[in-house]
Copies of this chain bind each other. A is one copy, B any other.
Amino acid sequence: MPYAFLDVRKTESFLEVILNNPARRNPLSSEMISELVSVLATPEAMDSQGIIIAASGRVFSAGHDFSDMMDKELAVLRDLMHACAHLMRSLQRMPQPVLAKVQGPAMAAGCQLALSCDLVVASENAFFQTPGGKSGWFCFTPMVALTRSIGRKRAFEMLMSGEPVPAQTAYEWGMINRVVAPERLDDEALDLMHKVTQGSPQLRAMGKKAFYTQIEMPLDHAYRYATDMMALTGITEDPQERMKAFVEKRPPVFKHQKKNDAAPKPGKKMHKYRK
């Protein structure tokens, strides 16, 4: 175990990375950031079907470590902020889905970390907060993730008021994917991770990359990109097998599909959309 501030657990198909400095509320210290960047670059991470970012203790993460930033030179702060933004963007650049499992408050850069993951499952106990604005600073970098997750009026209020937004409200706003009872958190996170890792990892990686790329393009460019991706991937093995299996009414056998861990035990009632 080479990490001082992380607990890393590998199952057959997923990698769970647990922020593990609960006594200090899992701060995104420069060491923690550095370890997170490192773990994402390991073969274990690259090869996993999905990555879960979790945390130990009562707080998901309280954000930056003030001792990294107090009485420091500009160069030190700049390096820290660049490293942190690099981490956040790495989460989107990973080929597989990355899910934040938020068991408690996610504040400032901790809120940014959760929202920078592709998916978020939170406990009812959790809240999301960008407190900088009310306390003499401003959450400039968390804002980048926040304003790309929810509408403007709500984001402006969060950033200026610094008020915590309960997980239930965050769910209603579309900021997160699930809100569940604390004792259901692990199962629901695992259930969602299973749901998003059923197909071909190769196609999924191209899909994730295209998701974040085309979302910033004008419609015209987005369609030029997406039609080429659709046509070019369509002649590859897995999509061809998928179509043949459908027409021949048999289950598909994918060349690039990996075996997943067992899904959470059946009999448990998982999240359902309102019908």
Contact = CB atoms under 8 A, between A and B. Distances in A.
A165 B197 CA distance: 18
A3 interface: no
Interface residues of A, number: 108
Contact of A177 (B153, B197, B230, B231): B153
B223 A85 contact: yes
B254 A204 contact: no
Interface of A is mostly: helix
Contact of A235 (B72, B229, B257): B72
Interface in A224-257: 226-235, 238-244, 246-247, 252, 254, 257
Contact of A138 (B148, B203, B247): B203
A133 interface: yes
Interface string A202-232: 0110111011101110111011001111111
A113 to B, nearest CB: 14
A149 B275 CA distance: 19
Interface stretch (A11-19, A29-37, A63-71): A63-71
Given A140-B226, A177-B154, A204 B78 contact: no
A73 interface: yes
Interface hub of A143, A160, A163, A240 (most chain B Cβ within 10 A): A160
B74 A159 contact: no
A9 interface: no
B198 A141 contact: no
Interface stretch (A39-47, A52-60, A167-175): A167-175
Closest 5 CB pairs of A and B: A138-B207, A136-B242, A160-B196, A151-B174, A81-B227
Given A70-B240, A85-B226, A157-B192, 4 more contacts: A89-B223, A97-B156, A138-B199, A138-B203
